[in-house]
Amino acid sequence: MKSYQIVDWGQPLQARQVAQPVPQGKQVLVKVQAAGLCHSDIHLRDGYFDLGGNKRLTAAQYGAKIPMTLGHEIAGSVAQVGVEVDPAWMGRQVLVYPWIGCGVCEACQDLRDTDCEAQRSLGAKADGGFSEYVLVPDARYLIDIGTLDVHAAATLACSGLTAFGALKKMPPMKPTDRILLIGAGGLGLSALAAARLVTRAGLVVADIDPVKLQAAQAQGADVIFDNRTPDTAAALKAAAGGPIRGVIDFVGSGQTASLAMAVAVKGTVIVIVGLMGGSLEIALPLLSPRNLTVRGSHVGTLDELKELVEYSRQGQLPGIPLTRRPMSEVNEALADLEQGKSVGRIVLTPSELA
């Protein structure tokens, strides 16, 4: 089967013919119909994450191996199952939960795969969905999507779930309170789409790209703000129209996290999601008297993804703008994403379906 793999760090992905896996035991083979593209694919391809202060976490230290097939937003149909899998799965349209843990540690037993210290996430540490087929270790990581659009469903596995997981970490709020979403890319738009399932707060979106801010407005942002505005923090606080009691930073750079600290009121919860890189210096005596929370949020649990798919099936989760491209254009698509040229999410389709 054809797979698009990282062969050398920092180099374009290569289309390679690899052996098609045969599912054993609890394993399932899924024929890929849609695979979303994510900013973390760029970091993995480049082979490192920027830790700030000239320090790096290499993709190898993170647990990625080469050659490795990228792609963690995967939807398709069940093509083959191992002998321990219920054959009723055959042919079903499914979304794959890719954030898979070791299956045996305490976190995994508690269904907190994202807190597992030995994750084998698809498309990040194990072969993923930029391929004709993907091998899933266990049918319990499959979610039946029925008649949902396979492209839209694919994006729920990372951008949708990441946004949903971060929103769930916000404190209870009133309509006069504000949540600031930094970054109006696929994640920011996904957060706007999911916000009404989780919070009553007004939604403020900040970005440096006017085109993306327009998309955020169309997606339901109450306030949009151009981060290139001089005296940014003061102008943003004034524009927000209410106290910014929550911040979700989908960029995750030293600059955006500093902005989050600067616009916080007492009690604000700041959730860092993006992996753009850098570091944040925090004056410790501010944390306690200002009652601040700064925390990370990594994707979400299998149960949260099931919940999100159910909302989608009930028609309660608006879609975000999608651009469909043939999988053979994966390197061009990564370049467009890196240069900020895409609005919403890019979803790759295997070439024979494109």
Interface ranges with Zn ion (CB under 5 A): 38, 40, 101-102, 105, 108, 116, 158
Considering the complex, what minimum distance in angstroms separates the CB of residue 261 from Zn ion? 25
Considering the complex, what minimum distance in angstroms separates the CB of residue 285 from Zn ion? 36
Query: Is the Cβ of residue 101 or residue 246 nearer to Zn ion in the bound state?
Result: 101
Query: Is the Cβ of residue 23 or residue 300 nearer to Zn ion in the bound state?
Result: 300
Contact 347/73 with Cβ under 8 angstroms?
A: yes
Q: What is the C-alpha to C-alpha distance for residues 104 and 137, in angstroms, rounded to an integer?
A: 13
Query: Is the Cβ of residue 121 or residue 258 nearer to Zn ion in the bound state?
Result: 121
Considering the complex, what minimum distance in angstroms separates the CB of residue 120 from Zn ion? 9
Query: Is the Cβ of residue 116 or residue 163 nearer to Zn ion in the bound state?
Result: 116
Query: Is the Cβ of residue 151 or residue 237 nearer to Zn ion in the bound state?
Result: 151
Considering the complex, what minimum distance in angstroms separates the CB of residue 216 from Zn ion? 19
Query: Is the Cβ of residue 41 or residue 222 nearer to Zn ion in the bound state?
Result: 41
Considering the complex, what minimum distance in angstroms separates the CB of residue 119 from Zn ion? 7
Considering the complex, what minimum distance in angstroms separates the CB of residue 86 from Zn ion? 24
